[in-house]
Chains A and B, each alone.
Chain A
Amino acid sequence: MNVVQLGNITKTYVKTGRPAVSDLSLNIPEGAVFGLLGPNGAGKSTTVMMLCGLTRPDSGTVNVLGMDVATHANDVRKKIGVAPQEIALFPTLTAKENLNYFSRMYGLNGHELSRRTDQLLDTFGLTEKANKQVHTFSGGMKRRLNLIAALLHEPRLVILDEPTAGVDVQSRNMILSFLEKLKESGTSIIYSSHVLEEAERICSHIAIVDEGKLIMAGTRQSLMEHHQDCSTLEQLFLKLTGKNIRD
């Protein structure tokens, strides 16, 4: 079963006048860690926003967890967890207060709320800092907390946009290890990143997009086998998207 089915979606923003996503079709199988890779301006963020129902495609269909996002956006949002690239937290609230608030907005209460927040704080090594205000946190701690906030309601599909941006090696390792465990539990993950070594480490499937178009998609293994002249994912990426700087 596919957790995500994109059928010929196109999206053009009025401001730019050129398509951010053009005729993109993609299937993401359940339980996969799906790497959505592409240079700046490739259309990754627009695709993610369309998956969440925050951006409507001009044409095409977006189906997530068996539901049409156009008509069931709220039902889809209940079952997905999104960690945006920005640190989407309240800086003057403590870690615990942030998580409590987001948990309640997800509909969690009482024991279930405490269990989930305590468990995730412990998993990400933030228990001792739970009562500190977020603005006092290091970049790595903020990034981990940002991820926790997307996982509070135990979503079936987790969408991560640059989840390790600006973090130190230890935090990155902790996040990636957690994602590997999450994958083992059967949760599907969409992983959008520029860091190809990370994608190489955790992704079972990969799609490379550029200028709004799908360049290539498949299992990581099949892609590498198909391009035996590339020994790393980075070499494959550069081969497919070129070496020109994208701003």
Chain B
Amino acid sequence: MKILSTIYKEFLLLIRDPGGMALIFIMPLALVIVMALVQDAPFRDYQELKLDVLLVDMDADSLGNKIRKSFQATGQVNLVEERDSLIARQKVHDGEYKAAIILEPQVSATLRRKTRQLIARVFANFGMDADTSDNADVPTIRLKVLVDPAIKANYRQSLASGIEKIIANVQTTWLLDELQDQLSEGKDSARKIKFDLSQIATVDQSYAATNKFAGLMLNSVQHNVPAWTMFAMFFILYPLAGNFINEREDGSMLRLRLIAGSQFAVITGKFFFYFFVCLLQFVMMICIGIFVMPLLGLNQLVLGGSSALILLTACCVAMAATGYGTLIAVYFRTAQQALSFGSISVVILSAIGGVWVPIYVMPEILQTISRFSPMSWGLESFNDLFLRQASLGTILPNILRLLGFALVTLMASVFIHNSRTVS
């Protein structure tokens, strides 16, 4: 009854505190929406983005056409023709275009000549008839790709790989053509076979999952909703500590200390109330991910895993967050100390916990440190459940870590609070 009374009292205090309500419910919602929108583009990988790239084709031969056809087929690059390489350089420098591909004059002819020389040398090597009259040293063909310094490294790498793949393809096709020409000695060219190189070997990518969630990737919504939900849940320390210290300063905590047996009810009641608030935050944020994000042009949040396990993880994160908030509340003597330390520590824990950016993109040292952040335990569990439909066995280690963290912080809070009840 005493615990229920404390929960009800905390409820009344919260609903009459518009600032606290905004901090608990409105700010996190705004935060998760803004962060999902802001991080949407960075989360989309090269396959999802269409880069505007200039093509300066001074060659006006087969290689340029092949590049056009190949990029058109992939749909990843929007090629824009430009005649002047200096203008192209300026446009890329100004950031107007992400890159420019420059084909120097005679590049196709040079490539053809090199393949012809190559085949002739092979034939001659095996003692077969071959036209070896052209044995001049032809320089290596170098295609120029100018890139915007602001372009991400992986985009630059993807673009270069794409062009290299096109050239390799062209080179192989021309080698085969030249081989057939030399074998037929220029006769009966109608018998030449046109090869479709893609039929020889191709890379078939698929997702390891075989259920209906196969193909579900970590996107802005899948990352940001659970990540910022945890951030908001840990930020519960702000109203929790503020309220606790206010009660200490205005004397109501003293009155409660003067009531026999009230301390356990006070701490436990506060813990359970803010635990429920955390769960409410979680449900609200998940609803935002499912129902609001698609309206903003973002992906819909997909809860791939078992609902029971998701709820279990949310409960464990809520307990860890409330335990941490309670510890901050009882340890610090002034609101300024508690709220400053508390909010900065939550930002640090969230940063190393993978809330701001996924842990796998962090330096190795931070990846090691992140193992000690309760937010990384929670986020890893949510990712396991949402993206990999993990079982209880998979998430159990992180669940136990979160529960352990909650238990330790709560016990430390009770110990500190009790030790300060009597001076």
Residue numbers of A with Cβ under 8 A of B are 49, 52-56, 73-75, 77-78, 80, 82, 84, 86-93, 97, 100-102, 104-107, 109, 133, 149-150
> Are B13 and A82 in touch, CB under 8 angstroms?
no
Distance of A129 from chain B, by nearest CB (Å): 17
Distance of B162 from chain A, by nearest CB (Å): 63
Distance of A202 from chain B, by nearest CB (Å): 22
> Are B251 and A97 in touch, CB under 8 angstroms?
no
Is B45 an interface residue when CB atoms closer than 8 A count as contact? no
Which A residues are in CB contact (< 8 Å) with B6?
101, 105
- Kindly count the residue-residue contacts between A and B in the assembled complex, taking CB atoms under 8 Å apart: 81
Q: Which residue of B lies closest to A108 (CB)?
A: B1
Which A residues are in CB contact (< 8 Å) with B421?
54
> Are A92 and B258 in touch, CB under 8 angstroms?
no
Is B250 an interface residue when CB atoms closer than 8 A count as contact? yes
Could you mark each residue 234-263 of chain B with 1 if its beta carbon is under 8 Å from any beta carbon of chain A, else 0?
Answer: 000000000000010011101111111110
> Are A78 and B260 in touch, CB under 8 angstroms?
yes
> Are B16 and A133 in touch, CB under 8 angstroms?
yes
Which A residues are in CB contact (< 8 Å) with B257?
54
Which A residues are in CB contact (< 8 Å) with B258?
52, 54, 77, 80, 82, 84
Partner of B423, one of A54, A90, A92: A54
Which B residues are in CB contact (< 8 Å) with A109?
1
Which A residues are in CB contact (< 8 Å) with B252?
88-90
> Are A56 and B250 in touch, CB under 8 angstroms?
no
Q: How far is the CA of A109 from the CA of B256 in the complex (A)?
A: 17
Q: Beyond A90-B13, A92-B16, A97-B9, is A105–B251 a contact (Cβ under 8 Å)?
A: no
> Are A106 and B259 in touch, CB under 8 angstroms?
yes
Which A residues are in CB contact (< 8 Å) with B259?
77, 102, 105-106
Q: Which residue of B lies closest to A106 (CB)?
A: B259
Q: How far is the CA of A107 from the CA of B2 in the complex (A)?
A: 8
Which B residues are in CB contact (< 8 Å) with A54?
254, 257-258, 421-423
Is B51 an interface residue when CB atoms closer than 8 A count as contact? no
Distance of B406 from chain A, by nearest CB (Å): 25
Q: Which residue of B lies closest to A159 (CB)?
A: B258
Known pairs A88-B250, A92-B13, A97-B9 / 5 extra A-B pairs, C-beta < 8 Å: A49-B423, A55-B423, A88-B252, A89-B255, A104-B5
Which B residues are in CB contact (< 8 Å) with A55?
422-423
> Are A90 and B9 in touch, CB under 8 angstroms?
yes
